[in-house]
Structure 1
Amino acid sequence: MNGSDSLARGVPPGRPGTLHARTVCGDLTAPPRPGLTVRFGRGEKPGTDLGVGVDDRRVSRRHGELTFRAGGWWLRNTGQQLVRLPEGRMMHTSSEPIPLATGYTPLFVQGSGHREHLVELYVTDHDDRGPVSSRRAETVRPERWVLSDEERLLLVVLGQHYLEYEPDPRPLTYSRAAEQLGFLRPDGGWTARKIEYRVEAVRRRLHRTGFKYPLIHDNPDERPSDNTLLHNLLKGLVASTTLVPPDLDLMDDAQGWPAQPPYGPGR
């Protein structure tokens, strides 16, 4: 899976209530048929419809399932490890099934160590049909911004908590990001100061394009490392789907990376 394939960017038009699911192992589409159940986990077909964490023995062979009933899709955790939803919600094996909202929902299946495995879900909206006169019109897409490969990796590392849909996310500190980038790209010469100025360059470039959130200090004498401006940058890139959860795959080389320390200033 890569960012260009993310369900966060929408799905083709289809029957309301249709379920789309995607992991690094594949994808599927399921119609809203009462009683239909879609299972995901480490196991193979026919027991599991969609593979996730297939190389991680902490992930159960049947880790979760989605069943269409009462007019919607209901999610249940059937595995031994937690399933994390946006806003920090956790599902245990003993948790009651919860209804899946229409639109985009990322799930994170906890695996070995600090690994989490992404399952992207998208349910076609029952009600979002728009005015009659616009039914045949092309959908207006959110504006996305071009990033170099290096900039994307840097911003994914800094904004990993945003891409993990954590409640009240904050950027990684520049010093912590430099350590992690040094692990991922040992020849990159990453330092906190280098990150500071690469972020400033991105902020200034996107500021000139009419970015949704403020990216530049009103006072030019202020330092460019202000955490609020970095928060605005990351929030806007995720909201526009310029950065999407599958971009976390760029950090796969960092499996087993130590747990993050408490949040601190953005430098």
Structure 2
Amino acid sequence: MIENGASNEATDTADPYAAVLRPVRSGNTFEETVEKVLQLIRLGLVPVGDRLPPERELADRLQISRVTLREALKVLQDAGVLEVRRGRYGGAFVLAPAPTPAAASGGAALRRRAEQLGDRLEDTLLFRQVLELGAAELCAARRPQGVEAERLQLLLAETGAASLEEYRRLDTRLHLAIAELSGSASVAAQYAAVRATVNELLDCIPLLTPNLQHSQRQHEELIDAILAGDQTRARVAMREHLAGTAALLRGFLS
């Protein structure tokens, strides 16, 4: 039987961040770092006005570089969630309880839409994953040649050169092309439908430059695998790519 004093001591010395601050996977370090910091705030583990654990501790526990951590903190500062103060008593302080950008902008209609879509988040992400993993594998199995290969390469180049304002539209075109080149009209039609919902979700979170740069590198790996006819590599590349987007959506909307 555990004495009351022993039980209280165990509770008092327990690590309050243990459930959240676990090592991130190597594929989407920036996106998962943003997600985990938002989880700390949303769960109330770091209340409004309090300071996040020191950078060194966060980086060590998440097993990421300080550069990646600072990128994540910077975008959350830009979103109005954190204030990063320098100096002896500095650090990253929580300004707001992890609002969606829709809420921060004061747009009541967009805020309500974010809440409605958030209820469907996991179902939408799961359905998207099923469709896109299959589409990538089927597309690689067909190994597009000639005009089809040129189409993918052109769309890839366009996403690489896209402005922030144009990126999401061009990203949609690239993913839709992969679905269309899977050889299944039904897969393409279902993907078009689920992507419309995904884009509504994405409209409720900020465009983060580090995420878009990372996404483009993942696009390059994905298209390279498809054009090489490597089904396994295409499926793995698509899974990793989708995981990054899912981490950000869960972080901001869950």
- Say which structure is richer in strand: 1
Question: TM (normalized to structure 1)?
Answer: 0.29
Higher RCO (Cα < 8 Å, 6 or more apart):
2
Question: TM (normalized to structure 2)?
Answer: 0.30
